[in-house]
Amino acid sequence: MAQQIAVVGSGYMGGGIAQVFALAGARVALADVSAEVAERNLARLLDESEAYIADGLFPAGATETLRENLWAAPSIEAAVADADFVVEAVPEVLDIKHATLSRISAAARRDAVIGSNTSTISIAALAVAVDAPERFLGVHFANPAPFIPGVELIPHAGTDPAAVETARSTVAASGKQTATVKDVTGFVMNRLQYALFHEAALLAEEGIASPEDIDTIVRSTFGFRLPLFGPFAVADMAGLDVYAFCYQQLQTTFPERFKTPRILEDLVTAGKLGTKTGAGFLNVPAERVPELLAYRNKAYVMMQRLLDELGPAPLN
Ligand SMILES: NC(=O)c1ccc[n+]([C@@H]2O[C@H](COP(=O)([O-])OP(=O)(O)OC[C@H]3O[C@@H](n4cnc5c(N)ncnc54)[C@H](O)[C@@H]3O)[C@@H](O)[C@H]2O)c1
């Protein structure tokens, strides 16, 4: 990556995002409320890198790469002046975001793409503070940014597709996987994460199972599949007719909460039942199904080996 990047807000997320881009070879400016805070956070990121190397999490030489590529800017304006790509990661407070984005967009080059790492604020609500908002979008890293591979890209209605492509290629060049989603509350990541958490919390509240037992079920059953397959791949492999039947059962107790989604009903009505019919949500070609099942089985066995090697999380 031969790009100039600026990260504004060099705290927990901004620091991790800066490490990601700098390790990938970009020159990355850190800006914060003052030069002193940016300097302090730069020193923290270098110390953190040493600890990560010692634990085998960053490659040998990472700290030298970060020392070469990261710099603490004296101001937001100085950080963004030459940047091709800017990521804003200041606190999740609308006024602070607005003031910061306004300063960033006034000082950045006109062709610089500006991303916000907001988790919950609508991108359109942030875009009002951006001068030339067609170059602005959400670029949502997950925590901890150096180690979680996926990033949501969230254009607002007025974002130029060229800006989305610049963000996509820049983030992809850092080694992350991207997915582009619409600007709706919760985007995709938090809407799904909170849907699961919401049901889990209700189950615990109703005394159906303890938080410990619910966590055990999630991570050792359906959650065990999730690093390999998202919900649509899982449903296609299980059979969409099976899913439709499960919905009917759930509706006997929860008629509203588990109304059969129309997108599922339509596929079942059309006889598209997933991998067993060669068509479903993902249209896996019939001839690749044996290969897919072999991959699945191998993946689950290797996943269990990894978990055995790691041992249980130190939660108690
Ligand atoms: N922490 C998470 O798990 C997580 C995950 C995804 C997204 N996010 C989002 O990332 C953003 C940052 O969150 P965080 O957890 O890194 O917060 P944080 O408090 O660790 O970092 C925020 C940084 O912004 C700096 N800052 C405050 N006001 C500023 C200003 N006016 N100008 C420049 N810098 C300023 C602070 O000094 C601090 O260094 C938020 O929008 C948050 O919603 C957080």
Residue 2: pLDDT band (50, 70, 90) is low
Q: Residue 114 belongs to what H/E stretch?
A: strand 113-116
Q: Where do you find CATH 1.10.1040 in the chain?
A: 221-310
Q: Answer yes or no: is the C-beta of 166 below 6 A from any ligand 1 atom.
A: no
State the chain's mean pLDDT as an integer: 97
In three-state secondary structure terms, 285 is coil
Closest to 140 (Cα-Cα) out of 4, 54, 16, 284: 16
By most ligand atoms within 8 Å of CB, the mutation choice from 87, 104, 117, 141 for ligand 1 is: 117
Is 91 close to ligand 1, i.e. is its CB under 6 Å away? yes
| 266 has a pLDDT exceeding 80 | yes
Tokens standing for residue 100: 């910061």
The CATH number corresponding to 4-180 among 3.40.50.150, 3.40.50.300, 3.40.50.720, 3.30.43.10 equals 3.40.50.720
Residue 196: per-residue pLDDT: 98
Residues of the chain with CATH 3.40.50.720: 4-180
The whole-number average pLDDT for the span 252-265 is 97
Q: How many angstroms is it from 92 CA to the middle of ligand 1? A: 7
Residues 6 or more apart from 169 whose CB is under 8 A from it? none
Mutate to test the pocket of ligand 1, among 17, 20, 32 (most ligand atoms within 8 A of CB): 32
CB 151 within 8 A of CB 176: yes
User: What are the pLDDT digits (tens) for 130-186?
Assistant: 999 999 999 999 999 999 999 999 999 999 999 999 999 999 999 999 999 999 999
pLDDT digits (tens, 9 = 90+) for 152-166: 999 999 999 999 999
Q: What local confidence, expressed as pLDDT, does residue 273 receive?
A: 97
Residue 113: closest CA among 139, 149, 89: 139
- CA geometry: angle 87, 43, 101, nearest 5 deg: 20
Q: Which residues pair with 287 in a beta bridge?
A: none
Measured distance CA(168)–CA(207) in Å, rounded: 44
Element (H, E) at 234: helix 231-238
How much of the chain exceeds pLDDT 70, in percent?
99
What pLDDT score was predicted for residue 316? 84
Does ligand 1 have an atom closer than 6 angstroms to the CB of 117? yes
pLDDT higher than threshold 80 for residue 129: yes
**Tens of pLDDT along 57-86?**
999 999 999 999 999 999 999 999 999 999
Q: Look at residue 118 and tell me whether its pLDDT is greater than 80.
A: yes
In sequence order, the 6+-apart residues with CB closer than 8 A to the CB of 316 are none
CATH number listed for the domain at residues 221-310? 1.10.1040
* Mean pLDDT (whole number) for 96-111: 98
Query: For residue 116, what are the β-bridge partners?
Result: 88, 138
Backbone angles phi, psi at 212, to 5 degrees: -65, -45
> What is the spatial distance between Cα 60 and Cα 49, in angstroms, rounded to a whole number?
10
**Over 80: is that where the pLDDT of 310 sits?**
yes
